[in-house]
Chains A and B, each alone.
Chain A
Amino acid sequence: MTTIGAPVSTGTEKAAGGWITADGRTIGEIMMEMRNITLRFGGVTAIEDISFDIRKGEIRAIIGPNGAGKSSMLNVISGFYVPQEGEILFHGAQRPPMRPYEVARQGIARTFQNIALFKGMSTLDNIMTGRMTLMRTGMASQALWWGKAQAEESAHREAVEKIIDFLEIQTIRKTPVGRLPYGLQKRVELGRALAAEPKLLLLDEPMAGMNVEEKEDMSRFILDVNDEFGTTIALIEHDMGVVMDLSDRVVVMDYGKKIGDGTPDEVRNNKEVIDAYLGVAHD
């Protein structure tokens, strides 16, 4: 029998096991590990010597005050920034420096803090573009739109329709995304990231600027994605209520340094974290 919250012994493996959460989900072995990451822009150090890991199946939150380096951290994971020091391990293997589209092909998808949809394209096309990494037919076949290309398009369309159903955006399927309200755009962006069938999903402030109902919807989608598809999620969020409710473990950053790491409860009671958020009295 496994105790809730306690490490599970897998027998063959060593400490890499994982555990079972209070709501019955299994947190697996380490999927991605960041080791001593340092990222500098000229004289500014955005991230200083940060190490943490993301385990398979968990929802991992990264929090911190403005300018703490959270988005930079996501950009490092998605390959947009290359850190000056430190290493990134994905599925136990060290990841060489690679372009963002190569990272995407490894099964890492993300959404953006400021919506980065393709404004001139419809919802459907946006989500179909998310499946770019899974499409195989060559240019000649596409140009003739015969057999293989058409069959592939239909197969992927079916998968995309499942995502559209899941996110409840059937009615805006053919609407250009530029015309959609903010909350729906955020949802389409999540759909586009999901379309790639990622192993690791990075969400950069998925609830920024939303009202309570929209936040509830988005939280539900995030939990469902994690639960139904088994997708590992790393998210940045400012709404502490959401973070504490959704996430399994939280990393807290401040001024580019890691000041806390653990379960929501541990983080909430961490003195350094409280100081960073509420300020310290100087005497």
Chain B
Amino acid sequence: MSDKIRKIEGITKESTQAMIDDALAAYPDKAKKKRAPHLAPNDAASGCASVKSNKKTVPGVMSARGCAYAGAKGVVWGPIRDMVHVSHGPVGCGWYSWGTRRNLMTGINGVTQFGMQFTSDFQEKDIVYGGDKKLKVLLEEAKGLFPLAKGISVLSECPVGLIGDDINSVAKQSSKDLDIPIIPCNCEGFRGVSQSLGHHISNDTIRDYIIGTREFAEPESPYDIALIGDYNIGGDVWSAKPLLEEIGLNVKAVWTGDGELEKIAATHKVKLNLIHCYRSMNYMCKVMEEKYGIPWHEFNFFGPTKIKESLRAIGALFDQTIQDKVEAVIAKYDPIMQAIIDEYKPRLDGKKVMLLVGGLRPRHTIGAYEDLGMDCVGSGYEFAHNDDYDRTAPEMPDATVVYDDPSEYEFEKFAHTLKPDLIGSGIKEKYVFQKLGIPFRQMHSWDYSGPYHGYNGFETFARDVDMAINSPTWKLVKAPF
């Protein structure tokens, strides 16, 4: 959390509110009333959320949000590498989410790692007669064809919940018959208001079916931790995990990027949970705290300032051995980071960035931009809750615009007024802004780059931000004739 309140020249509470009012003017009354509480100037001093969140999306406005299934398949369960993840229902949902999140995996595809698309490919008759029998058969087939899979998740798509299938009892029986954990996850896309409920439901299934069912083979140590809420986008875990190991910690499990089911199941034996994406996995951190007495701690591995702060805060939870290692690591990387900043900051200083991402990065990446001399002039989330916005308020400059689940219309309006030098958001937004000549980076997928986590990640991040903003291609957008 930053201690000083920052201001951006030309941005006041009044100017931001006027911009919001202008964006709302086009809405019919009912929609305007619904959207207004989700848009506000940041009140940095309060340290509290200035907007409402986690409410139903207004129909017809072009939201960027996904669904509960997306949160379960794409975010929580999907990245576990040694499981077969079955998209249970019609073919589309699994097809669209197949390989599109960039949660990279080690292992051999189809042998020890299953970054593939498994689906029950529901047809009309499955809707009419139910899909439970088909599910039972396909679970047998999956076990037979992929004998080294450590488990199977069954991720329900919309029709499954609507036709009243009982995947829970099929999973339970088949688990016994096949001697493999089969986790039913009732994450139908119509549930809740966004991906977020899918995260919660998935956390609950880990709680109900998995946690506590395995134990680590090695003896315990006081430095055993789990890395929670890192999904290995573009290899983030492969940057974050070695850094935690460098300060002397044993990373016993990763949730869930490049994750392994049995290690996740044994996480109740660690001494501390370190959580990066609070939004998607705070639930299980709280469960493990209550049930097993494991404390948890939020950290931020974007950009050297936040990394340094985070490493020291983590060190403070351990003994002097770790603290000494933390200082040694910081001393080792400080000059390397300074060299990166020296290279890129002169070209990026004072540039403005707007963010719209999922549930963490709209606040967590702000420090990394600031390390490069940039200012965040607007930020918002697709599916954050009130506690996320509380955490966001102190990170953003005062009076800058905060938007919750903005429509494309609002986002474009704000960008038009604020004229940012860079927008960090998703694939659905990318080409809109690039047509306008505004540099853009996808901040869900790292735009096919990465990793961005940890010290290694910052070098890539800085290079990518520089390349986006200073690409000579932007100079060609306006024709000379």
A and B form one complex: no
